[in-house]
């Protein structure tokens, strides 16, 4: 299992060369700690100098595990379920930009908060149908471009649709695309799943999982709360999971502290 951690690059507001410099500093810091890659939470991937990024990745023998896309909804208000057709199409267009960046960097594209929240001007049924229709289009685009999409069940305090793993699996079955798989986040798993069955269930669905997010019950670094990471990660490890587990927490007291603390704890659990 490979390890990464989430960071932004502030590409919307910073000059291009500064973004590349920030990326290089992150690669150096994380590589030295023993991470295999970085997950980027981006807003406008097309503003990044992809050639510089690829050179930096090569020189550090480092990877971009995945691209987070949720800020498209948070900052622009575009979403895959939006009742306004123009804003729904804009969400799909934005995902195309992420996919173009992902093809070049061999990263996954995450479908999480970008599916949006139900609006009082719409209905849950309409929004769900929109999400399904948008996802079919995105899966076609992903197939054409050769990119993998990772669909994330997210807890019901943050989002209205697909809160549980089983509801996300039903959706994946309906879309039926070889380019749409699951992202399992330990934080949402702890909030939404039945503790009596979760380890068995995870074992059964592990072949559908293409990416993992790690945060403890307090949404801080793994090991600082009471989530059973040993059981969680070993379930995947024993099922032959070889992709990324990515730290996605509140970065307090600092990103650097979370990175150091997390990797130390995870190396111990994974025996690496």
Identify which range of 150-158, 161-169, 173-181, 260-268 contacts ligand LER by CB under 6 A: 150-158
* C-beta closer to ligand LER: residue 70 or 127: 70
Active site residue 248: yes
- Give least dist CB 189 to ligand LER, A: 11
For the chain, how big is the Rg over CA atoms in Å? 18
Inter-residue contact 11 to 45 (CB < 8 Å): yes
Active site residue 200: no
* C-beta closer to ligand LER: residue 71 or 122: 71
Q: Does 114 bind ligand LER (CB under 6 A)?
A: no
Among 48, 213, 220, 259, binds Mn ion (CB under 5 A): 213
Which member of 11, 24, 152, 261 is catalytic?
152
Q: How far apart are CA 129 and CA 134, in angstroms?
A: 9
Q: What six digits make up the tokens of 236? A: 């995947």
Among 63, 185, 192, 216, binds ligand LER (CB under 6 A): 185
Nearest residue to ligand LER, by Cβ distance, number only: 112
- Give least dist CB 75 to Mn ion, A: 17
Q: Does 185 bind Mn ion (CB under 5 A)?
A: yes
Residue 192's binding partner among Mn ion, ligand LER, none (Cβ under 5 to 8 angstroms by kind) is none
Residue 113's binding partner among Mn ion, ligand LER, none (Cβ under 5 to 8 angstroms by kind) is ligand LER
Q: Does 160 bind ligand LER (CB under 6 A)?
A: no
Inter-residue contact 246 to 39 (CB < 8 Å): yes
Q: Does 44 bind Mn ion (CB under 5 A)?
A: no
Q: Does 209 bind ligand LER (CB under 6 A)?
A: no
DSSP assignment of the chain, as one string?
Answer: -EEEEEE---TTTS-HHHHHHHHHHHHHHHHHHT--EEEEE-S-GGGS-HHHHHHHHHHHT-EEEEEE-THHHHHH---TT-SSHHHHHHHHHHHHHHHHHHHHHT-EEEESGGG----TTS-HHHHHHHHHHHHHHHHHHHHHHT--EEE----TTT-SS--SHHHHHHHHHHH--TTEEEEEEHHHHHHHS-TTTHHHHHHHHGGGEEEEEE--TTSSSTTSSS--HHHHHHHHHHTT--SEEEE-----S-HHHHHHHHHHHHHHHHT-
- Give least dist CB 16 to Mn ion, A: 28
Catalytic residues, which ones?
Answer: 152, 248
Q: What is the binding site for Mn ion (CB under 5 A)?
A: 185, 213, 248
Q: Which residues bind ligand LER (CB under 6 A)?
A: 70, 112-113, 152, 154, 158, 185, 213, 248
């Amino acid at each position: 299992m490979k390890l990464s951690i989430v960071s932004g690059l502030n590409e919307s507001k910073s000059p291009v060369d500064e973004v590349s410099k920030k990326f290089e500093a992150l690669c150096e810091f994380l590589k030295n700690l023993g991470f295999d890659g970085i997950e980027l939470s981006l807003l406008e991937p097309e503003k990044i100098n992809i050639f510089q990024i690829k050179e930096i990745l090569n020189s550090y023998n480092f990877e971009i595990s995945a691209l987070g896309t949720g800020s498209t909804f948070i900052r622009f208000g575009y979403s895959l379920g939006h009742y306004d057709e123009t804003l729904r199409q804009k969400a799909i267009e934005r995902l195309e930009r992420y996919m173009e960046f992902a093809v070049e960097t061999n990263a996954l594209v995450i479908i999480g908060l970008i599916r949006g929240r139900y609006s009082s001007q719409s209905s849950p049924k309409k929004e769900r149908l929109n999400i399904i229709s948008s996802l079919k289009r995105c899966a076609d685009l992903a197939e054409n471009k050769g990119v993998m999409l990772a669909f994330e069940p997210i807890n019901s305090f943050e989002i209205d649709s697909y809160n549980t793993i089983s509801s996300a699996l039903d959706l994946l079955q309906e879309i039926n695309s070889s380019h749409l798989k699951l992202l399992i986040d330990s934080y949402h798993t702890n909030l939404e799943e039945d503790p009596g069955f979760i380890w068995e269930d995870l074992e059964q669905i592990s072949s559908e999982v293409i990416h993992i997010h790690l945060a403890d019950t307090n949404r801080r670094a793994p090991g600082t709360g009471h989530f059973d990471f040993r059981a969680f990660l070993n379930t995947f490890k024993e099922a032959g999971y070889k992709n990324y587990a990515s730290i996605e927490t509140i970065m307090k007291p600092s990103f650097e502290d979370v990175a150091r603390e997390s990797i130390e704890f995870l190396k111990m659990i994974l025996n690496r």
